[in-house]
Amino acid sequence: MLTNLKPQPADKILQLMQMFREDPRTDKIDLGVGIYKDATGNTPVMRAIKAAEKQLWETETTKKYTALAGDPAYGDAMVDLVLGGAVARDRVAAAATPGGTGAIRQAVELIRMASPDATIWISAPTWPNHPSIIRYVGMKMAEYRYFDDATRGVDFDGMMADLAGVKAGDVVLLHGCCHNPTGANLNMSQWAEVVESLQKTGAVPFIDIAYQGFGDGLEVDAEAVRLVASSMPETLIAASCSKNFGIYRERTGILMAVSETASGQPLTQGTLAFLNRQNYSFPPDHGARLVTMILNDDALRTDWQAELEDVRQGMLKLRTQLAAELQRLSGSDRFGFLAQHRGMFSRLGATPEQVERLRAEHGIYMIGDSRMNIAGLNEATIPILAKAIIDTGI
């Protein structure tokens, strides 16, 4: 049996992680996988997480199962964090999942159960695991234009033209904030136009929000998802706590599905619980419990928000510094987009050959499409990267 298996394509992001690890150079720079790093290159456990873990260790008396959809208190806390009361709570079904990826997988399976012939539209480009999961689950897929290679901003006209061709009942996958891999985002008036288009075509929005708090702030980053969910009859939302709580390996995510009416919610909620049971039964609890404790405790929450805000400000500062250094070296404003982008990533706009030269000649690792993790930089490596970018003719 096992001899029938065929090798599967390696995930580009994880492959690069491996190559970086194996590179013996001591001055190598990792701008690959999307993990936040502080100025010393560490990915620290956030203070509020440490405090909640200590408290949990002291007070937890059992490890028995929670519920198939996870602890309901986690669902409530996350619905509030993401949706902030934008839609009535009784319209929202929610189930804890192993990370944001788990939420995406469950959402695609939910779509297949409800609407097996629907096409799922993804942005070109998008996070590579989106098409990979959609293909694996066996759903049809199409792309809408998103990124303008010339301006390194959003190709909004192209996007709107493509969204106009979406059929009723198709699903449109959108990044709630901090677009991965480009860093280019819609403004709120553009989001309003997207909503109008979705209403006109009768498409179902599916929002992936994995970086809330990394762009323009915890509340501002949720504005788009709140606008969409409050304007559309149905919305799917996959949210991750990996980045904003720094609990990557705890696998803490949630899938929310907003039904048109409160009377439709129990069916959706039951289906989410069923899907969890089929795939892994009870979702992981540790990370979800820490998140719930932090969100429901004033002191922990205040400290978490303060640390998250420092992380965000730090990344913004790196963006501004890199853009300024490139302006100084190139004598042009052509890298100004780096300061405009938001979140952890920016697509530099280099060719695959140039990306390969950065790796081979300078030990600088970024994804082949020239996505770089801004958080992988620090004050010392910014001038090194800027010089390498110019030397490589980008």
State the catalytic residues. 127, 208, 210, 243
Cα Rg for the chain, rounded, in angstroms?
21
126 belongs to the binding site for ligand LMR (CB under 6 A): no
> Residue 302 is inside which H or E element, if any?
helix 298-330
Applying CB under 6 A, the site for ligand LMR has a residue count of 5
> Residue 337 is inside which H or E element, if any?
helix 337-340
Residue with tokens 């929202």: 92
Give the helix, strand, coil percentages of the chain, each rounded to 5. 50, 15, 35
Kindly identify the residues of this chain, within the stretch 2-21, that bind ligand LMR according to CB under 6 A.
13
| Smallest separation (angstroms) from ligand LMR to the CB of 11 | 7
Question: For residues 248 and 260, what is the distance between their CA atoms, to the nearest angstrom?
Answer: 33
Of residues 91 and 319, the one with the C-beta less far from ligand LMR: 319
| Smallest separation (angstroms) from ligand LMR to the CB of 227 | 24
| Smallest separation (angstroms) from ligand LMR to the CB of 341 | 15
- Residues facing 257 on adjacent strands: 93, 236
180 belongs to the binding site for ligand LMR (CB under 6 A): yes
Kindly identify the residues of this chain, within the stretch 274-303, that bind ligand LMR according to CB under 6 A.
none
Q: Annotate 206-235 with b (16+ C-beta within 10 A) or e (fewer).
A: bbbbbbbbbbbbbeebbbbbbbbbebbebb
Amino acid sitting at position 392: T
33 belongs to the binding site for ligand LMR (CB under 6 A): yes
User: Could you tell me the two tokens for 335?
Assistant: 């890298």
DSSP state, 11?
A: P
User: Could you tell me the two tokens for 198?
Assistant: 């979705």
Of residues 34 and 283, the one with the C-beta less far from ligand LMR: 34
| Smallest separation (angstroms) from ligand LMR to the CB of 131 | 13
> Residue 172 is inside which H or E element, if any?
strand 171-175
372 belongs to the binding site for ligand LMR (CB under 6 A): no
Of residues 203 and 348, the one with the C-beta less far from ligand LMR: 348
253 belongs to the binding site for ligand LMR (CB under 6 A): no
Amino acid sitting at position 144: Y
| Smallest separation (angstroms) from ligand LMR to the CB of 317 | 21
- Residues facing 253 on adjacent strands: 97, 240
Q: Taking CB under 6 A as the rule, which mask of x and - marks residues 130-169 in contact with ligand LMR?
A: ----------------------------------------
Of residues 92 and 214, the one with the C-beta less far from ligand LMR: 214
Q: Are 173 and 123 in contact (CB under 8 A)?
A: yes
Ranked by CB distance to ligand LMR, the top (closest) residue is 34
| Smallest separation (angstroms) from ligand LMR to the CB of 244 | 13
Of residues 33 and 227, the one with the C-beta less far from ligand LMR: 33
Among 36, 121, 127, 191, binds ligand LMR (CB under 6 A): 127
Question: For residues 139 and 125, what is the distance between their CA atoms, to the nearest angstrom?
Answer: 18
Q: Are 273 and 290 in contact (CB under 8 A)?
A: no
Among 30, 31, 34, 204, binds ligand LMR (CB under 6 A): 34
- From 163, 82, 170, 178, select the one nearest 126 (Cα to Cα): 178
Of residues 33 and 390, the one with the C-beta less far from ligand LMR: 33
| Smallest separation (angstroms) from ligand LMR to the CB of 328 | 29
- From 98, 97, 79, 99, select the one nearest 89 (Cα to Cα): 79
Q: What are the start-end ranges of the E strands in 92-201?
A: 92-97, 119-124, 140-145, 147-148, 153-154, 171-175
Of residues 30 and 325, the one with the C-beta less far from ligand LMR: 30
Interface residues with ligand LMR (CB under 6 A) are 13, 33-34, 127, 180
